Amino acid sequence: MVLSTTINKYAYATLIPSEGEGFTVRSLDYNVVAKYDTPADLLYNGELDLVKAALRWMGVRGGLRLFLHSDAPPGSGLGSSSTMAVALVGLLRRYLKRPMTDYEIAEAAYTIERKELGIQGGMQDQYAAAFGGFNFIEFNPQSVIVNPLRIPQDTLHELEYRLVLCYTGRTRLSANILKDQVESYRQGREEVMDALDRMKRLTIEMKNALLTGRLDDFGALLHEAWVQKKRLAKQVTSPEIERMYEVALQTGAVGGKILGAGGGGYILFFCDFEKKHLLTGALEKLGGEVVEFGFDHDGLRTWDVGEARERCAR
């Protein structure tokens, strides 16, 4: 089970129908423009494989141009790859006029990433992106249940104000970290199993703290979740991350955690509102980049526009 929310950083995909059976894909993030003459040319070779897998899995015959862009860099820990996968599935679903529920879209994005391409990782990012908002998500052997949380508006405003999102200045390859975590779980390592059990209990406690407006308790629980997360694999943290976290606690943070698998990307801090300016200043002195953000509650969105009937998604 996980507790997740979505923020106003997006993955965008635009589709423009064209003549013939070819594909043109332009990725602003990778500064790549690629052309494929037929569906048979969509071979996995490390270039735009996520796009190719989405086109193949959704059964697109060709005759289209795609433009892709994300607000967050790959490897940032914000789930940018899975969010792009959701955007692509939602976009192609609209283009093909294929009815799909949010659950089916999330499952398709998961299948494309984890099974079709074999990328290491879980499935929480796909469900978070598809549904949007604050959710308590339960993962069972045969199903996933997304429970939307009715958190009071006052609590959400205060939480948003007291959270600080900081980019560490470096990305990382999450697959390697997750591979070690999975291997430790399969081996039944006592420290890892205990950490996972504690994190599960913390998830429930954090959900209850949000629903009842106990934000100081939430901040303290966030710190405990970070302590347990570091027990999963040694690559989760680094001397630079530890230094940043230590300074944050000294200048107003109550708790925090690295986002995603760890090793780099973004750190989220919960702070004393009176010391938020001190915290942001200290993080920037260490080379961090404090990023403004807000909560987003809508999840996947698709729309048509223009004479060419462009289909867009985010």
The secondary structure of 78-141 as a DSSP string is S-HHHHHHHHHHHHHHHHHT----HHHHHHHHHIIIIIIS-----SHHHHHHHH-SSEEEEE-S
Rounded CA-CA distance 116/191 in Å is 32
**Which amino acid, one-letter code, is at 153?**
Q
> Nearest Cα to 165, choosing from 10, 299, 294, 298?
294
Task: Give Cα 292 distance to the centre of its chain.
Answer: 17
Look at residue 5 and give its three-state secondary structure.
coil
Burial 180-219 (b: 16+ CB within 10 A, else e): bbbebeeeeeeebeebbebbeebbebbbebbeeebbebbb
Q: Which residue has the tokens 């690559």?
A: 235
Residues acting as catalytic residues = 125
Q: Which residue has the tokens 């405990």?
A: 224
Burial 108-132 (b: 16+ CB within 10 A, else e): bbbbbbbebbebbbbbbbbbbbbbb
Give the side-chain half-sphere CA count within 13 A for 175: 9
Count Cβ atoms within 10 A of the Cβ of residue 67 and give its class: 0-12 exposed, 13-18 middle, 19 or more buried.
Answer: middle
Rounded CA-CA distance 306/16 in Å is 10
